[in-house]
Amino acid sequence: MAAWWSKQRKKMKPEVAAKTKRSVPSGLFQKCDECGATVPSEQVKEALWCCPQCGHHFVMPTAERIKITVDEGSFVEADVNIQPEDPLEFRDSKRYADRLRSAQKQVGVADAFREGRATLGGRPVSIGFFVFEFMGGSMGSVVGEKITRLFERALADRVPAIILNASGGARMQEGILSLMQMAKTTAALARLKEAGLPYVSVLLHPTTGGVAASFAMLGDVIVAEPKALIGFAGPRVIEQTIRQKLPEGFQRSEFLLQHGMVDAIVSRHDMKDTLSRLVSLLGPEKQRARA
């Protein structure tokens, strides 16, 4: 059928083909990477950006994820006015400063991380969300500063810290300044742990590079969404480096669970309840009781 339709379109006059193409609005359907089904985008959205056929988890808009994760209306965002800079005056095919302005205009946030105070099951938390829509959730100086402040806020308020990670890793346009955020955030997390306060890390698709190599894999409890890609280098890079075929499902959530790298795989539909239970079990009042 598809081949026949392609041939018919080639026979059409250009103006007729253009009108036919416009009759089906873009974005009306989505193809599932897992089962191959083509499903209406509205059904995907209603299913929390999951495939209604097989349950495959699509990448979810961050604003919607915040709504389904914390108690309704409880998220009070902090540090919204911290702006990224271009100290290296980096340019590849495009100036970094131009990329930043374009991403800010398209996504509507200053950088690739949103954090602040919220409640889960009525209990206060310091929580943050990577904005994958912003340059692939890459971690530059502003993202590192916000994550550090999230841990420092949890320490000051004596509440659990939670981060929902989705990132391609350190932002190459900021060079060594982006790599320094790995040490900076990990040091802030160490101070939180010294105070006996819990940190829950949620690994979404994808969680890679410098984010995976630092705080994302240092949670007291680490949970992941199904079939999320998690690791430092991508599987193709590893195969080309070691010249060996990797195991089936390598670097996916299920593989990491089998090898003890994550504690649980949790569907998006159950994530809020799971995090609420963890906050209840690991909250500061439990730490004081043990002391």
DSSP characters over 82-151: -----TT--BSSSBHHHHHHHHHHHHSSSSSEEEEEEEETTEEEEEEEE-TTTGGG-B-HHHHHHHHHHH
Mean pLDDT, residues 166-185: 97
Token pair belonging to 80: 């919204």
What pLDDT, on the 0 to 100 scale, is given for residue 210?
97
Q: Which band of pLDDT confidence, cut at 50, 70 and 90, is reported for residue 267?
A: very high
Query: 126: how many CB neighbours lie within 10 A of its CB?
Result: 27
Q: Which residues pair with 39 in a beta bridge?
A: 30
What pLDDT, on the 0 to 100 scale, is given for residue 23?
54
pLDDT surpassing 70 at residue 10: no
Number of folded domains that form the chain? 2
Dihedrals φ, ψ of 93, to 5°? -75, -10
Clarify whether residues 161 and 144 are in a common domain: yes
Clarify whether residues 260 and 118 are in a common domain: yes
Clarify whether residues 129 and 148 are in a common domain: yes
Of 6, 30, 58, the one marking the end of a domain is 58
pLDDT surpassing 70 at residue 290: no
pLDDT surpassing 90 at residue 18: no
Helix residue spans in the chain (DSSP H):
2-11, 14-22, 41-46, 62-69, 96-107, 141-157, 175-194, 209-212, 235-242, 253-258, 271-282, 284-290
Q: Is residue 8 part of a domain?
A: no
Mapping DSSP to helix (H, G, I), strand (E, B) and coil, where does residue 264 land?
strand
Q: Is residue 262 part of a domain?
A: yes
Q: Is residue 2 part of a domain?
A: no
Closest listed residue to residue 238, CA positions, set 219, 214, 216, 255: 255
Q: Is residue 10 part of a domain?
A: no
Cα–Cα distance, 256 to 71 (Å, whole number): 30
Clarify whether residues 41 and 128 are in a common domain: no
CATH number of 237's domain: 3.90.226.10
If you count them, how many residues does the chain have? 291
Q: What is the DSSP letter of 164?
A: E
pLDDT surpassing 90 at residue 277: yes
Clarify whether residues 74 and 27 are in a common domain: no
Percentage of the chain exceeding pLDDT 90: 84
Find the domain containing 171 and state its range.
Answer: 60-290
Q: Is residue 127 part of a domain?
A: yes
Clarify whether residues 113 and 195 are in a common domain: yes
Q: Is residue 30 part of a domain?
A: yes
Q: Look up the pTM and report it.
A: 0.87
Clarify whether residues 192 and 54 are in a common domain: no
What are the pLDDT digits (tens) for 149-159? 999 999 999 99
Of 39, 58, 77, the one marking the end of a domain is 58
Closest listed residue to residue 171, CA positions, set 99, 66, 78: 99
Average pLDDT, the chain: 91
Clarify whether residues 46 and 65 are in a common domain: no
Q: Is residue 128 part of a domain?
A: yes
Closest listed residue to residue 171, CA positions, set 80, 100, 234: 100
Clarify whether residues 139 and 54 are in a common domain: no
Clarify whether residues 254 and 241 are in a common domain: yes
Cα–Cα distance, 31 to 23 (Å, whole number): 19
What are the pLDDT digits (tens) for 238-258? 999 999 999 989 999 999 999
Q: Is residue 15 part of a domain?
A: no
Clarify whether residues 112 and 27 are in a common domain: no
